[in-house]
């Protein structure tokens, strides 16, 4: 099972006393901050996810059907790479090395990448748009549970421009030129939201075994934002 | 035949009066500035070459054998992408659009990329190192023939860090771990220098039909710099 933003593998919770808030803080719903992994686990996962998003965008640059699309996607790839390097800089600031910090999460995230890889340029674009949107929303919610100074820096970094307006323009014009793309890409978007939220839910369950019902509002918000992203490209979520 | 840094296709030289210096400027050798294409032709080619170098580096990120190598190569990819975006900014500064400015050179450069694509990660690394080194040297020599203000900006941009010390470290440690790589990569380096300089020579011949013997010193310099790059990774050029 793929897990995104799980705690560090083989690390006992008893080693992090006081790191979680009391469950009584949240009555009707779980705030994701309760389930935030420790800072380096968070950063290792966020940085590696951003790196694989960059790789997907790099593939979109290499396989773009026109020079204009290639150039446009190179902008998005640059924004994604800058976020990755911002996250690795934060790892270094914490006194750790990026490689070893990301290493424990490589296998699970590579598996996620494998199951969410698109079959062609259009699906690849939808993948980078939809998965980066969902993962970014999820990561920003979890960032609330990090130490305050790191939380502020990371939230600002993740909130920076992700070039989505460029991807939206590419996808809208592609669908306009070939309306038959719409139903295939709508299905692909559903597959992606399913895979991504299952992986996120699985990680949360492993982090804190919260009451499933109390997690529901968090996922409802993530899905609402996803629906707005699908709307922006003219597709039904 | 692949041509790198040729003049704009289907554009008559008579449309550019005074753009070339008198051949009498150079007595014993050709200065490449005599053969510099017009600014937008130069920028279109330099920008697209930098974009395909980025694509090769993106593939090196995606196929890296370890997370440390992946992270290291992501730095190099970022530097290359920044150069590409610096060149497209220069295109915009000249009042043109990057896509249409690069378009006339896409087919020839894509063909060059196809014949210089490596068979595995190590060859891909050698390709990005050797071809970016040669093309950068060549582009910087040609930049001398551009209008002075653009020439200064472009020379500074092309002279910025290209991350070669990172690639050198990756290749040296790979060859140290597996000495049998050395002879294969040395052969690959020879193939690359041959293909690249043939393409450059072909473009120069098309630009100005210079006396081949007078071009020789220029190529001798390019090859000397190439030999130093091969030395740096412990290989014979």
d(CA B174, CA B177): 5
* Residues B7 and B41 sit within 8 Å (Cβ to Cβ): yes
- For residue A24, is it within any domain? no
Place of tokens 């890296």: B64
How far is CA B63 from its chain centroid?
A: 23
B128-184 confidence digits (pLDDT tens): 999 999 999 999 988 989 999 999 999 999 999 999 999 999 999 999 999 999 999
DSSP state of B8: P
A19-40 confidence digits (pLDDT tens): 444 444 444 556 777 778 899 9
d(CA A126, CA A233): 9
Candidates B200, B170, B175, B189; CA nearest to B230 is B189
What mean pLDDT comes out for the span B20-38? 62
- B183 CB contacts (<8 Å, ≥6 apart)? none
Asked if pLDDT for residue B109 goes beyond 70, the answer is yes
Residue range of the domain that includes B205? 35-232
Asked if pLDDT for residue B30 goes beyond 70, the answer is no
Top residue of A44, A69, A70, A76 to mutate, by most chain B CBs within 10 Å, is A70
- A94 CB contacts (<8 Å, ≥6 apart)? A39, A40, A43, A150
Place of tokens 């590579």: A110
- For residue B4, is it within any domain? no
Percent of chain B with pLDDT over 90: 73
- For residue A5, is it within any domain? no
- For residue A122, is it within any domain? yes
Asked if pLDDT for residue B212 goes beyond 80, the answer is no
Query: Tokens for A68?
Result: 């204009």
- For residue A226, is it within any domain? yes
Q: How many domains does chain A have?
A: 1
Shortest alpha-carbon distance between residue A65 and chain B (Å): 12
- For residue A140, is it within any domain? yes
- For residue B137, is it within any domain? yes
Who among A58, A70, A98 is closest to B71 (CB)?
Answer: A98
Interface residues on B facing A, Cβ-Cβ cutoff 8 A: 48, 51, 54-55, 58-59, 61-62, 66-68, 70-71, 74-75, 77-78, 81-82, 84-85, 88, 98-100, 102-103, 106
Asked if pLDDT for residue B54 goes beyond 80, the answer is yes
What's the pLDDT score for residue A1? 60
- For residue A8, is it within any domain? no
d(CA B218, CA B137): 10
Q: Provide the ipTM.
A: 0.83
Q: Can you give the CATH number for the domain in which A193 is found?
A: 1.20.1260.10
């Amino acid at each position: 099972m793929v897990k995104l933003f799980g705690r560090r593998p083989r690390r006992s919770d008893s080693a992090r006393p006081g790191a979680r808030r009391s469950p009584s803080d949240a009555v009707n719903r779980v705030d994701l901050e309760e389930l935030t992994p420790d800072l380096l686990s968070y950063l290792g996962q966020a940085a590696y996810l951003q790196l694989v998003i960059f790789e997907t965008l790099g593939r979109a640059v290499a396989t773009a059907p026109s020079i204009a699309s290639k150039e446009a996607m190179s902008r998005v790839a640059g924004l994604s790479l800058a976020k990755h390097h911002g996250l690795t800089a934060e790892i270094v600031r914490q006194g750790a090395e990026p490689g070893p910090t990301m290493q424990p999460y490589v296998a699970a995230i590579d598996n996620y990448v494998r199951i969410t890889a698109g079959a062609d340029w259009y699906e690849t674009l939808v993948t980078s748009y939809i998965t980066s949107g969902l993962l970014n929303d999820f990561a920003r919610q979890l960032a609330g549970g990090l130490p305050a100074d790191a939380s502020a820096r990371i939230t600002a970094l993740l909130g920076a421009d992700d070039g989505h307006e460029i991807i939206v323009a590419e996808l809208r014009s592609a669908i306009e030129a070939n309306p038959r793309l719409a139903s295939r890409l709508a299905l692909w978007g559903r597959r992606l939201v399913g895979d991504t939220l299952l992986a996120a839910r699985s990680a949360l369950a492993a982090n804190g075994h919260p009451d499933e019902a109390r997690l529901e509002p968090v996922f409802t918000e993530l899905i609402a934002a996803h629906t707005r992203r699908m709307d922006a490209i003219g597709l039904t979520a």
